[in-house]
Amino acid sequence: MKRVIYAESSAVYEGSQILPTPEHDVHPESFYAVSKAAGMLFAEAYRRFYGMETTALRYFNVYGPRQDYRRTIPPVMSAFIIKLLRGERPVIYGDGSKRRDFVYVDDVNAFHLLCLRDERTIGNVYNVGSGTSTSVREIYDTIAGLTGSTLEPIFKPDLSGEAQENRADVSAARALGWAPTVDLREGLRRSIDYIKLNVPAPALN
């Protein structure tokens, strides 16, 4: 019997009014979110017609080493870190009050391994987040403190279509014995150390 652990996304909760958001409150709005919800239906079809064992994971804002900082609008953690290490002012879209559920990549991978080994996860869907939310401004201030920067960010108009807050209900994952172990400050410190050592020098100069 083949088994697949596949990636959905917390984007399927775009229209939810419940915080923290449980797995059953699916309300996709954007095309991206609808595509992720469609993946859920495909997985169910494979289970029904071919007996494939599936486990779905809905990631919230995963961060840590090896984040792709080269995107047009890079992940907020990498964008802030690289700019501040260059001595430049990072951009915050909006006023910095938006809140996101950030979870460190090592904690996410620990849950991957649990799903591979624990048959209780078969046929289920799990939120993968920290269960807490932090504002973009708080992230900025923490990174600035860790890098020793006193620069203020540049504020630009908000990006459209983004929720004010996301926060995972991780009670289903916790019921399996999993819990995040890397707090935000420590995760950011590790991210800064990784970027200092591994991001090519031209990106930091």
How far, in Å, CA of 90 to CA of 103, rounded?
22
Decide: 143 and 81 in contact? Cβ < 8 Å: yes
Decide: 112 and 174 in contact? Cβ < 8 Å: no
Exactly one of 6, 32, 46, 93 is catalytic; name it: 32
Decide: 77 and 63 in contact? Cβ < 8 Å: yes
Q: Would you call 32 a catalytic residue per the annotation?
A: yes
φ/ψ of residue 179, rounded to 5? -160, 145
Decide: 120 and 90 in contact? Cβ < 8 Å: no
Residues 6+ away with beta carbon under 8 Å from 48: none
How far, in Å, CA of 115 to CA of 120, rounded?
8
Point out the residues that are catalytic: 32
